[in-house]
Amino acid sequence: MPKYAVEGVENMNIKGTLKSFGIYLNGLIDKGYVEDIGVIEKEMAQENIAHYLAAKYEREIPLNDINDIDKAEVNRLYASWSGYIEGFECRRFFVKKNGLILLSSLCMELLYDQDLD
């Protein structure tokens, strides 16, 4: 099971950041955007998912409103899951086609874990 805590970064508002990130993801999904799961997993593994989405969808959602420190923490949290979910998307999160839905599902998992801390 992945480690959720982000070492070396202190963010007292990670729950708020994750909530905003999840809302932005849902906005993209609602607008009909689809991301290849393989691309999403690659960006997660490279600790780049927040920056990737912010650059690609800068006109669609205000991801650039999330500061760089918070984006780095989101990147680390998602990266901690990259190896675990690879190949298990269908069984764990019931997602086969859209990497944005995978990210949204994983956001719920990350928020749940933050409640346990």
User: For 45-78, what is the HEC assignment?
Assistant: HCCCHHHHHHHHCCCCCCHHHCCHHHHHHHHHHH
pTM of the predicted model as reported, rounded to 2 decimal places: 0.82
* All structural domains of the chain with their residue ranges: 14-116
Q: Look at residue 94 and tell me whether its pLDDT is greater than 50.
A: yes
Both tokens of residue 28? 């993209």
Mean pLDDT is lowest, of 13-22, 90-99, 105-114, for: 90-99
pLDDT at position 7: 47
pLDDT digits (tens, 9 = 90+) for 49-91: 999 999 999 999 888 788 888 999 999 999 988 877 766 666 7
| The architecture CATH gives domain 14-116 | Up-down Bundle (1.20)
CA distances from 107 to 27, 102, 110 (A): 14, 9, 5
Could you tell me if 82 and 102 are in contact, meaning their C-beta atoms sit under 8 angstroms apart?
Answer: no
- The values of phi and psi at residue 113, to 5°, are -65, -35
What does the CA dihedral 49, 90, 1, 114 come to, rounded to 10 degrees? 60
pLDDT at residue 96 in the model: 81
111 vs 13: which has the higher pLDDT: 111
Residue 115: pLDDT band by 50, 70, 90 thresholds?
Answer: low
